[in-house]
Chains A and B, each alone.
Chain A
Amino acid sequence: MKYKSNFFFEKIFKTILKITSLIVIGIFILLFYSLVERSIPSLFQNGLEILFGTSWDPNFEIFGGAPAILGTLFSSAIALIFALPISLCIAIFYTEYGPVRLRPFISGIMDLLAAIPSVIYGIWGLWTLSPILKINFQEPIIASIGFIPIFSGPAYGLSIFLASLILTIMITPIISSISIDIFSKTPMHLREGMFALGATKWEVIKNVVFPFAKRGVFAATILGLGRALGETMAVTMVIGNSYLWPFKSVSLFASASTITSKIASEFPESVVNLIHNSSLISLALILLIISISINFVAEIISKKSVGG
């Protein structure tokens, strides 16, 4: 009797687990299905315009996504260019040069920076950082080297530059925490082998730690990139949401759009116009494809790094 009831419960338990797994798989498949379904009207009407078109005017049903797509790629790339060296420096300080006592503080700072909601980065960027940067950074630069197109005026406080800066602050904790983990795993016997040859700390970092951590840091960078590409609130609040950049002005200080800022700022009003709504969702689909392929690459690389 007891054996039978156990068998029964075992079966029920397994079935429940299987059903929940199928639900999650279902959600996953449905996600793609419904985004594709909602994108179809736009894809039919706009065709490749959604990828390459440079203007966007719902009144005339013109939906060119290029400025938003480029804005997404560009702001994320700039953020990465700053965040990667900063993160490496933090990881170097944490694992090599800094006193062990400081470690909990550094990881605390990184964890809290990563935890702050993006809408709070947004309000801070919009009302605190933007006016300060406009007066003390953008305007002096425009006044001195404004003849170079990418630094030309006028100074929009809310700009692709500000968005990239805030993205840098937001993704640095991600890249640096993973880098710290990987740096700490550098085998002691390799470090010591290099020290025993009379190497300085920096030479040990360069010759032993970096080669060891290379792949993992790359995967971390891709992860940070994925986060930057999909970041919505902070970017929407500080980028200005105009379609100026990069076809009407190439200035870093011009306001611009990203895929996410376009969607967040126009979605509610788009609900009344199927093509408009569908075009925004096809932008989301493009973002989804970009971010999935990037995560896929990171996955492959980090799996390989386990072996070497």
Chain B
Amino acid sequence: MAAIEVNGVSKRYGSLLALDRVDLAVEEGEIFGFLGPNGAGKSTLLNILLDFAKPTHGSATIFGADCQRNPVAAREHLGVLPEGYAVYDRLTGREHIEYAIRSKNADDDPVEILRRVGIREDGDRKASDYSKGMAQRLVLGMALVGEPDLLLLDEPTSGLDPNGAAEMRRIIEEENERGATIFFSSHILEQVQAVCDRVAILQGGELVAVDTIQGLRDSLGGGTKLIITVDELSPAILDTLRGTEGVETARPAEDESTVEVTCTNDAKMDVLVALHGAGVDVVNFRTEEASLEDMFIEYTGGSRQ
């Protein structure tokens, strides 16, 4: 059975289409990265899975339980690190964990959970005095209670220092080894790349890619990037490049006379030939292996800083 199944989910807020007919299946036992720039609709989809928001169209299930019609049954499988949460003002960290234990009918030891997420010493302090990073650890701890079948983590490393982010990664891997499915969203490719079996890329409410990291690389056709400096760059040249067989993308770089082309390995020479054929003088060129970063930018249409 799929851990998560999303069938044609759309969500409209007024005139804004936050999600556009998203279909997605996450298999049991995988670590699934949900990638996209801020505002792409990642949290909206998570909110629908949690029944914080109702989809305008479509439906979603968690281990077969419909997220809207039977939200409690769906959430029984979940450990959640949500987005935009706040801790309870007047409860201690330990009381938060105890609340999670009772809510999930679990029998975890609160001290052990606090230790696992690295805030054992602070368990008796009021959680409202915690730093952002400590609160993030606390809520992760609440998510881990009861050995959930599926961990839904929304931007899990936000607020954490690099050390904390590494610990988060370790916990994700531990949980996965235990048998839990992990679904986490991020706008940072690096994190996803490091742990995920598969990723989905969401852009402007649309799912633009679902694949393994390797699959995404392969789809770049060997992952070659040509950086070509020409004497004068014009839109016609870009069109010529894009029309060449084997070329995936061609876009101007910052300095006006340079163009970046991603293409299959075999097409490298063809690109140069095509330029020559169009009467363009190639001043300089070099090749790079396309990184996932480029790929991500390409998929999401973001610009480099």
Partners in one complex: no
